[in-house]
Structure 1
């Protein structure tokens, strides 16, 4: 009888930990490399593209971009709320885009929806030796 109670409590604790871990992952973003190529006529520069997928309610932590990176961002699906440098918080919808200057600070980057996923394609023109495209703000 006591063993059954202990097993029940342990199973419940494991279920809670698994659920908490799943929720933590659902609130972040998923960044997937898409393309990387040196730019032949711009020595020392590369073109790098990444897909950023935001689950419902997901967000990126505040971050800064590489000091050499000029960025073009295109919303593939859904709606993304963004704030770059001292600009206003703005919602960009599927098919809309914006650019970010080198060294931009990105204090807000999140899915504008709590119920639907959103996807962004970010294209960086960056110094080829800049491998850290984003650095979290602490």
Structure 2
């Protein structure tokens, strides 16, 4: 079983509340989202594993069980062309849970007219393979969001 922890401090919300149909409809997979604290921060890895995909606004880490977890920093933030995001690791790097991956400022994303809400998604998972989903309340980086069988 893989425990997936929060990459950010903020408020946990259900994916259905994410203002993007791809995420709210769980088209890329089930999970939860974080409405982040509006201050400069570092998004950290939600699992131990290898960074298999890395963009300024999103990253995927695959753990030893082959579970791929997507952290997407904000909605439509690809349109910011990397502005305001700083990569702290490289694609192919091995990372540990809690290790900083991207530095960013959710308040600046919001000022640019984008939602700073961050989906944390279990790629290629089924909804019934996740348990203990945390879909409300305040979380700190490193708090458990869900367990993946």
Q: Shorter-chain-normalised TM-score: which range?
A: 0.3 to 0.5
Q: Which has the higher helix share?
A: 1
Name the larger-Rg structure: 1
What TM-score do you get using the length of structure 2 for normalisation? 0.35
TM-score by length of 1: 0.37
Greater relative contact order (Cα 8 A, min sep 6): structure 1 or 2? 2
Q: Which has the higher strand share?
A: 1
